[in-house]
Amino acid sequence: MRFDVVTLFPELFAAFLELALVGKAARAGTIRVRLQSPRDFAVDKHGSTDDTPYGGGHGMVMRPGPVVDALEALDASRGVEEPRAHRVLLSPQGAPFTQATARRFATDHGAIALVCGRYEGFDERIRSFVDEELSVGDFVMTGGEVAAMCVVEAVARLVPGVLGNLASTEEESHAAGLIEYPQYTRPPVFREHAVPPVLLSGDHGKIARWRREESLRRTYARRPDLWAVAVATEAERALVEGRELPPSPPKRRSRSKK
């Protein structure tokens, strides 16, 4: 899978692309990351990519020309059989980037282009040249480079061949719309904190039920927004919310015909 990143600071990605999972996948050729600076397409000798906003106001706005030219240059330089990148503008105004989005990118697109902003924001016309707009959270950063790294790592680990066991992603937090259950490893007791006995029981059925319940409990306690739309039975919801289910109506006896 290919990631194209439009950024004014490509040097920020050096360590990210050399270390840990992403670096290993890049060296193996499972993923490919290309960086392109809009400064290469600036129209003045100073390499300016921003300007003052029309109508006045604080800060500077990224010009449309250098950004769009950078995207088009990346498209033009791709391999003959490589797909055009699905273009993503990273902005606090975008839709939330979720695990479902990461899975969609990994499944539906062979290439993703990520546009990193700087300064006060983008010229509005840039939005006409991208396919969607995403935000990694309800907060504002100085630039989109860290957000781009988040997207690259979240998507890359879902690409076959990047993780040793792709099935492990199916039980993670947010994979099924729930927060993951608690995890433990050795020692069985650490500073008077013991591993739950069920995990030492060897009973895989009980362990699976415990993990399911703990996942539901954590989601209910920590993420009410996820809990509101979580896929859970009424019995599970009643258990986690600490309420009793209404009694079931008595079954009617069928009358035998004489």
Separation CA 241–CA 115 (nearest Å): 42
Q: In terms of Cα–Cα distance, which of 194, 35, 193, 225 is closest to 115? A: 35
- This prediction's pTM: 0.88
Tally of structural domains, the chain: 2
C-beta separation of 215 from 174 below 8 A: no
pLDDT tens digits, 152-193 = 999 999 999 999 766 666 656 676 789 999 999 999 999 999
C-beta separation of 71 from 6 below 8 A: yes
pLDDT tens digits, 99-145 = 999 999 999 999 999 999 988 889 999 999 999 999 999 999 999 99
Domain match, 131 and 198 both:
no
Domain match, 15 and 114 both:
yes
Domain match, 135 and 199 both:
no
For the chain, give the number of residues. 258
CA angle 143, 145, 149 (to 5 degrees): 145
Domain match, 95 and 145 both:
yes
The answer to the question of residue 176 being in a domain is no
Query: CATH no. for residue 208?
Result: 1.10.1270.20
Domain match, 145 and 218 both:
no
Given 109, 140, 156, which residue is the final one in a domain? 156
The answer to the question of residue 10 being in a domain is yes
Domain match, 89 and 41 both:
yes
- Where in the sequence is the domain holding 212, given as residue range(s)? 189-241
Separation CA 129–CA 70 (nearest Å): 11
The answer to the question of residue 168 being in a domain is no
Query: CATH no. for residue 96?
Result: 3.40.1280.10
